[in-house]
Each structure stands twice: as structure tokens, then as C-alpha cells.
Structure 1
Amino acid sequence: MPRTVTDAERHFIEQMPKAELHVHLEGSVYPETLLDLGRKHDVDLPIKTMDEAREWFQFRDFAHFVEIYVAICSVLLDHEDYARITYEQALRAHGQNIQYQEITFAPASFINPRSVALPDVVLSGMRAGAQRARQELGVTMQFILDPVRTRNEEEVMLLARWCADNLGDGLVGFGLGGMEVGYPPGRFADAFKYVSDAGGRLTIHAGETDGPESVWAALAVGAERIGHGVTSIHDPELVSELAARQIVLEVSPTSNVCLGVASAYVEHPFRKLHDA
């Protein structure tokens, strides 16, 4: 039966050193930062005040999260922007005694870019923010490129080649996020192989808004970790396969509840996955 965490347990959790493996850099931007960067770059945002921003940031579902995510990306345009949000993410981590983070980022595509924030701009800013975080806060940050699964094969392969060419100095892996349904990872098998052959590590979002078949598809293209993976619980054979191969699931209960993947914490399959 669910029970309330005691004060002593909460204190222990807050104080224990932690690692965080599933963070979307752009998705972690504060409402205040969004408004500030909107003013800096003269971007017309759908919200104008902090009250409006706080209300807007109450996620209704995955589509609403993506809507806000796109708006955030529209104000992230230069080296300084990415250095700032990287350091702000580290400050949040430091406040929770998170000492190590792997941060997923999604730069503009080389083909039909959404903005001037191409990968070189983004990575240089993140590296600067991470260096400051390490020096001032003792937080270590490494980065995983998400080419975004709604892009076409050519776009994703170009980003895979860029990733392979820039591995090191914090850039450690290649992932795949975004809308699962209708965008299977098998479309990008060549891109995953290219990065893996260059020494990059692979993690793929699956089993969040789609069923266990999404996780099977991620494993088929070489995923070493699974972002979310919670719907795996509906396929006992898959759960056994994940356990046998020691595939880590980056389970994110709060995200799952906020986006409607789970209706409440008590309904979340975390415990069932752990026990399996």
C-alpha cells in the first residue's frame, strides 16, 4: 500500500548524492528565463507576464508540452543563451545535490533550420555553462544529441555525422525524442550505427506515449538505455529481456503524471518495473 514519506526519509533523499540521466535542456528552461530571452531577441511569445507564464507551464498533455518546448526553442538563439540555461540547470541540480547529469539537447537542423541555433552554437554554449557549473558548483554535465524523430532521414544522418565528429568534451551520446507514434526509430538505423561506430552511446525515448512495441523497436537499433519505457510493463517478455540485458529505463514519474502517461503517482508502474 502507498504511504507518506516521513520527514527523515525526505531529508535523507534530499541530502544523498544523486545522478540524473533524463533531462531535456530546452524543456527545463524557467518561465522567467523564457520571458527574459523573448525580450532580448524581440520574439513575440503567446504569454507576456509571469502569471500567464506560470499558468501556461501547467502541462495538460504531451502535445501541450511540445507547444511550450517549441516556444522555448524560438528564444534560444546564441552561445550566451545556451550557456545561461545550462548553468541554470546546474543550479537546480546543485540545490538537490545532483552531482552528475546527462542532458539531452535538440539543436536546429542543418536542413531548413528553425533558427540560427545550429549545433556548433548550441554545443559551445553548453560547454561553457557546464565548465562554469563544474568549477563553481561541482556538478558534472555531459550531453546527448536528440535529432528529433519527426525530421527526415537526411536531416538525422547529418546530425549523426556532426555528433560523431564532435564526440568528447562533454558530448557523449545520440538519442531520439519527440512524438513516438508514427515515427519509429528504425527509420534512422543507419544514423544510430554511424554514431555507435564512432564511439557514441545510444539512448532512445520509447514506451512513453506508445506501447511496448516502441521499446522493442528501440532495442532493435541498438539502444543501450530507454528514455521512459514505462509501457514495457504490459509485455512480460519485454520486461524479462530488459532485465536480462540490463537495459536501464530512464523512468520519470513526475513527467509521466504531468503529461498524462500515468494518472497519478500511485498508478505509476515504477514499483512493478522495479520488482520485475
Structure 2
Amino acid sequence: MEIPKYGLTDLHVHLDGSLSFDMARELAKMQGMEMKSEEELKSLMVAPEDCQDLNDYLTKFDYPLELLQTEEAITYSIFELLKIQRSQGLTCSEIRFAPQLHTRRGMRQEQVVDAAVRGIQRFQMDIGISAGKSRACKEFHSGLILCCMRGADNQAMNMETVEVAGEFWRKGVVALDLAGAEALFPTKNFEGLFREAGRKGIPFTIHAGEAAGPESIWKALEFGASRIGHGVRCLEDKVLVRRLAKDEIPLELCPTSNVNTKIFKNITDYPILRLLNEGIKATINTDNMTVSNTTLRDEIQLVADTFHMSEAEIGQLMKNADESTFLRME
């Protein structure tokens, strides 16, 4: 079936993993950095067909992060990514990034987030002017999700991210997240962060049930996560599946990314129909548009074609995403 051209929602898209090659070139030019060729950019920013696992996949963020170390670069990138998404038929986007990863040249996390918020504001102003009516801003909803990072020695930086999220919550920031090497740094190690987020009333999602199994999802739920990033390994635990379905906890599924990272060998192994049949609130997202060489329409079309999904099933996926955005909580 043909996917609608308008009305798409991406709940799980990383800024650093979604810089287009044109954006990368412009960012390099802006900062007087070496300009990379098309082949060099592909090698640096796109997961290869023989990508080994999540840790291998994460190496494709190194170069984009080099480009995203100034306020100007952050503002520009948010603005341009939102423009691209709108041109692709999205009407809602929650862009996520880890402020602590953008402080290598002296920016504070507060400056990073303020620059990102300015990118959203610039985009809203741009579409309002281009449409000739302020109503245009209400036709595209966008917000920022701030990622804490899994690691062994960054507790202070993670807590700073929580504090900054509190400062900008409902002023561009819509939620928190926990990202990074899930198998190396278990979710259970980060309880304190999300207890503090809960105390501040900030909602959050957590990457879980991707590189690690159901125990990671259980911990995320115990902490109070409103959504689960990926979460496909929930199917290894029948009790967990029933809990997710009963409480209508949305899963932010990213099919191509999960194949890239070898969670599944082939897209034909992807359990989208089983998840829907179990009553789980599944959504389809891009994760990283450039690293996974995809768009949201491509992702939805991929599962629709692979599993011969009905119009009703695709409609349910889109409805689930629309109902699950943190922007509805503002």
C-alpha cells in the first residue's frame, strides 16, 4: 500500500545520526574545517552493509559530533533537519541529542540546548512567514529530547543534563532519554538520574530492549519511563509483553537500524506483526536518517511491503505515534 504523503510523526530521531551530506559540508565550511568528498562522508556517516553490532554502528556518530560543537552549528542543524522532515511529509518530530557530547570546545550544556531551541524557533518563524500565516506553526509540532549517556564516569554530566532539561522543559524540551552502549552499561546503573527526573516532573523514554534483553525494559518501567526506545526484545518475556500491552507503553521501533545493528538478521525477521497482535502500542521511527540511510516514509513502506500490512495496520502504527508524542503532555 502507498504511505500517506502527509501527517507522519517521528518519535525517535537522533540529530547527530541524521545530518545530511549537504548539512555536513555546510557545517564544515562554516567552521573552516576540511571538506570531505561524497565517498568520505559515506564512509564516515553511513553504516556499512557488514555493520557488526550496535557498538560498530555507534562509530558513525564520531564525525557528525566533530561538526556539532558550536552554537551556530547546533542552531543550523536543528533548523535544517526540521526543514527536511517537513518536506518529507512529517507533521511532528521529536529530535534527540546528548548535550554533554557537544561541549568539547567549551560550550556548557545550557548553551547547547539554548542553541537547539533557537533552531526550533527559527524554523517556526520560517514556516510561518513562508506560508503567510501564523497557523502554519501549529501544523508542524517539534520538540527536543535530551539524552543522558550510558558510561562509567559521566554521572555529573548526566545529572547536569537532567538539570538543564528542567530549565528548558516546556520551553522547547519535551523529555529526557538514556542512550549509548546498552549492553556495556546496564540500565539499572542509572536509577538516580531518572528518580531525579521524576521528582522534577520531567517525562522520559529510555533506550532499552535493543542490545540488552527484557531486564533492561523492566528497569526502565521501574524507573517510570513513559515510552521505550526500541524495546523489540520484550518478546523474550511473556509477562513483560502483557505489562506493555496493559499499560499501553509505546515502543519506538526503528526497523532498519535494528537490522543494521544485527538485532535481526533480515527485515523479514522483524516482529512488527507479532507486536501488534500482542496489543503493544508499536510506532515506526527512523532512529538515524543518515547512518541507516532511511526516511520515515521509507521505514513505514518497508514494513508495509515486507509483511503485506493492511491499510488498517499502517493506520494503527501512525495513530500510535501521533498519540504517543511527548508534545501532547505540554
TM-score interval, smaller chain = 0.7 to 0.9
Mapped partners of 2:178, 2:209: distance in 1: 12
Residue 285 (structure 2) aligns with: none
CA contact (8 A) 1:148 1:176 kept: yes
Task: Name the TM-score, length of structure 1 as normaliser.
Answer: 0.87
Mapped partners of 2:67, 2:5: distance in 1: 34
CA contact (8 A) 2:45 2:63 kept: no
Distance 1:230 1:136, change over 3 A: same
Quote the offset at 1:275 in angstroms: 0.8
Residue 235 (structure 1) aligns with: 237
Residue 256 (structure 1) aligns with: 258
Quote the offset at 1:187 in angstroms: 2.1
Aligned equivalent of 1:21, options 11, 14, 22: 11
246-255 vs 70-79, which moves further: 70-79
Number of residues paired by the alignment? 262
Percent of aligned positions that are identical: 29
CA contact (8 A) 1:185 1:221 kept: no
Highest relative contact order (Cα 8 Å, sep 6+), 1 or 2? 2
Distance 1:275 1:119, change over 3 A: same
Mapped partners of 1:258, 1:206: distance in 2: 17
Residue 205 (structure 1) aligns with: 207
Residue 122 (structure 1) aligns with: 112
1:164 aligns with 2:154: no
1:34 aligns with 2:36: no
CA contact (8 A) 1:103 1:142 kept: yes
22-31 vs 124-133, which moves further: 124-133
Query: What are the within-5 Å matches in structure 2 for residues 80-159 of structure 1?
Result: 80-108=72-100, 113-137=103-127, 138=137, 139-150=140-151, 151-159=153-161
Aligned equivalent of 1:50, options 30, 38, 49: 38
Quote the offset at 1:165 in angstroms: 2.6
Aligned equivalent of 1:71, options 63, 66, 84: 63
117-126 vs 21-30, which moves further: 117-126
Quote the offset at 1:39 in angstroms: 4.2
Task: Name the Cα RMSD after superposition.
Answer: 2.1
Quote the offset at 1:43 in angstroms: 4.7
CA contact (8 A) 1:101 1:141 kept: yes
Q: Which runs of 4+ in 1 moved over 4 A?
A: none
Mapped partners of 1:179, 1:218: distance in 2: 15
Structure 2: 5+ residue runs without aligned partners?
128-136, 279-330
Mapped partners of 2:110, 2:38: distance in 1: 31
Mapped partners of 1:58, 1:27: distance in 2: 9
Aligned equivalent of 1:226, options 228, 238, 241: 228
**Structure 2 letter corresponding to 1:184:** P
**Structure 1 letter corresponding to 2:60:** I
Distance 1:64 1:37, change over 3 A: farther
Task: Name the TM-score, length of structure 2 as normaliser.
Answer: 0.73
Mapped partners of 2:209, 2:271: distance in 1: 12
CA contact (8 A) 2:46 2:60 kept: no
Quote the offset at 1:48 in angstroms: 2.7
CA contact (8 A) 1:212 1:234 kept: yes
CA contact (8 A) 1:185 1:217 kept: yes
32-41 vs 251-260, which moves further: 32-41
Residue 265 (structure 1) aligns with: 267
Mapped partners of 1:245, 1:203: distance in 2: 15
